[in-house]
Amino acid sequence: MLKRRDLLQLAGSAAAFAAVTPVSPALAEGQAPQTAPFSHATVVELAKSLAAKSYSAPSADLPGAFSDLTREAFAAIKAKPDALIWNDKSSGFVIEPLHRGFVYTSPMQINLVENGAARRLNYNAADFDFGNLRLRAMPTNLDFSGFRVLQRNDQGELRELAVFQGASFFRSAAPGQKLGVTSRGLSIRTGDPRGEEFPLFRAVWIEKGSVADNALTISALLDSESVAGAYRFTIHPGDVTIIDVESSLFPRAPIDVFGLATMGATSLFSPLDRRGDDDVRDAAEEIGGLQMLTGRGEWIWRPVSNRSTLQISEFIDQNPKGFGFLQRHRAFSDFYDFDAHWELRPSLWIEPIGDWGDGSVELVEIPSDNETAQNIVAFWRSKTPLVKGQQADFAYRQFWCWTPPSRPAGAETAISRGGRAPAAKQRRFLVEFHGDGMGDPARVAAFNPNLSVNPGKVVAHRVTPAAERKSCYVQFDIDPAGEAACEIRLTLDFQGAPQTETWLYRWTL
């Protein structure tokens, strides 16, 4: 239940704007909480007002005990059970405030909305269990690093549904999954030589939902040096967790490189590229690749890899129909990892709402030797830049799932493997396509590999049907012709028409 001392006043949009600046006073002990009417339009007006002012970064200062925390010590800090919000079964959702510390130093203001009125949640150190951390004095006025959304199941147990924490990052999952892929509200200049800018959610407004609604609505105020924005997230739990994202952006300056529906994931090694690997596991990766459904209706599968140098790939498109990071390997034996359980990580599929125009899906692959770092990033980059002073609106739907709701009509890639070929300086690849259409041996025997390498050449290939598995294997060797990188494209065709998704890969030294 909410405590009276835990709340601050939000008196209209003017007061709400003041509340997200460092000058906001704390509510005095025992003072009656006050409320103000709230709607998402309030956040839009806040973002518009904020964008008209110079950017002022929130203070990320923390007492030394919290700024020097290890990952393990930070993870041990938990909100006490009686500090959980709406933990009285009056709502299907419970909110757990998250403490600041470790790398999560920026403050987030949390506001709670009930019956159309908003009240601010005030930080109170007594609401947290600090584990083995010994404090000389209890901290005050820290705000929060974010919050966790929990959902009560039919047995009354709480499961983790979503986490909003750090900059504009958030994560979710389907039932039975472990958190993995991370999404962002907005990315700016990701992979750009000018350096990346990380917008943050300065404040959120969480609307209490009823059990019957089975939906949770969260509004968020985004801010950074270049832009302010108003976001609305509507979370629909089920066998698939759906999050509808609506955003209104108000640029302070022109922005030519920005990412919509940005997602990040870990890929340390896989059978396709075991660079520098000496590991008992077969793979260590949250996702196997990036899937795209282009505006022209072509299904593309692009496996990802942990590269030796930064690699950026651009897939030009118009009005994309969908894209996302997918984990297609769902057996423990694909990984043999008793701790990470990569096979339980969610796939994240994005479907744009409305036309996004000309642009490209961009894939950034970053060298990494740390399996806790998300070194693979993808996003939609619009060809149209954001213009100072002009509002830009975008919307899309996220599916946090085991498999996406949209699937190719043809066969999908089940396995991608790579290694050295018998001939010197050549590379061998093995791709397995799987689908119902692969179960007819006579038909598969007529399939032709449509295979190209640029630069370089294909020096050998073979197609091996496996009707009992509803699969077909394509093994091929390439000669990079002395180049450090080459692009490979493969489909299996029947009478000139593709029977599989398009397999794309960039090989690099």
pLDDT tens digits in sequence order for the chain, 509 residues long: 333 333 233 333 334 444 444 323 333 334 445 789 999 999 999 999 999 999 999 999 999 889 889 999 999 999 999 999 999 877 889 999 999 999 999 999 999 999 999 999 999 999 999 999 988 889 999 999 999 999 987 777 899 999 999 999 999 999 999 999 999 999 999 999 999 999 999 999 999 987 788 999 999 999 999 999 999 999 999 999 999 999 999 999 999 999 999 999 999 999 999 876 789 999 999 999 999 999 999 999 999 999 999 999 999 999 999 999 999 999 999 999 999 999 999 999 999 999 999 999 999 999 999 999 999 999 999 999 999 999 999 999 999 999 999 999 999 999 999 999 999 999 999 999 999 989 988 888 899 999 999 999 999 999 999 999 999 999 999 999 999 999 999 999 999 999 999 999 999 98
In this structure, which amino acid lies at residue 90? S
Sign of the CA dihedral running 409, 410, 416, 420: negative
Classified as helix, coil or strand, 251 is: strand
Distances (CA, A) of 202 to 190, 230, 410: 21, 11, 45
The pLDDT assigned to 275 comes to 75
Q: Could you tell me whether strands 187-188 and 258-265 are parallel, antiparallel, or unpaired per DSSP bridges?
A: antiparallel
3-state secondary structure string, 187-246? Answer: EECCCCCCCCECCEEEEEEEECCCCCCCCEEEEEEEECCCEEEEEEEEEECCCCEEEEEE
Residue 463 and residue 449 in contact, taking contact as beta carbons nearer than 8 Å: yes
If we measure between CA atoms, which residue out of 494, 502, 490, 408 comes closest to residue 443?
Answer: 494
Burial status of residue 269 (CB atoms within 10 A of its CB: 0-12, 13-18, 19 or more): buried
CA distance 57 to 44: 19
The pLDDT assigned to 137 comes to 87
List, in order, residues 6 or more apart from 190 with CB less than 8 Å away. Answer: 196, 257, 259, 262, 362, 364, 377, 379
Q: Could you tell me whether strands 182-184 and 258-265 are parallel, antiparallel, or unpaired per DSSP bridges?
A: antiparallel
List, in order, residues 6 or more apart from 274 with CB less than 8 Å away. Answer: none
Task: Output the six-digit token pair for 302.
Answer: 């692009």
3-state secondary structure string, 15-60? Answer: HHHHHCCCCCCCCCCCCCCCCEECCHHHHHHHHHHHHCCCCCCCCC
The pLDDT assigned to 276 comes to 66
The torsion angles phi and psi of 200, rounded to 5 degrees, stand at -135, 155
Residue 146 and residue 106 in contact, taking contact as beta carbons nearer than 8 Å: no
The pLDDT assigned to 33 comes to 55
CA distance 317 to 315: 6
Sign of the CA dihedral running 344, 155, 244, 48: negative
The pLDDT assigned to 32 comes to 47
| Residue pLDDT, tens place only, 33-50 | 578 999 999 999 999 999
Q: Could you tell me whether strands 284-285 and 267-269 are parallel, antiparallel, or unpaired per DSSP bridges?
A: antiparallel
| Residue pLDDT, tens place only, 292-309 | 999 999 999 999 999 999
Q: Cis omega before residue 405 (within 30°)?
A: no
Burial status of residue 29 (CB atoms within 10 A of its CB: 0-12, 13-18, 19 or more): exposed
If we measure between CA atoms, which residue out of 304, 305, 302, 328 comes closest to residue 315?
Answer: 302
Task: Output the six-digit token pair for 362.
Answer: 């961009």
| Helices vs strands, H then E, count in the chain | 5, 35
> For residue 449, how many other CB atoms are within 10 A of its CB?
19
Give the global pTM: 0.93
Residue 188 and residue 213 in contact, taking contact as beta carbons nearer than 8 Å: no
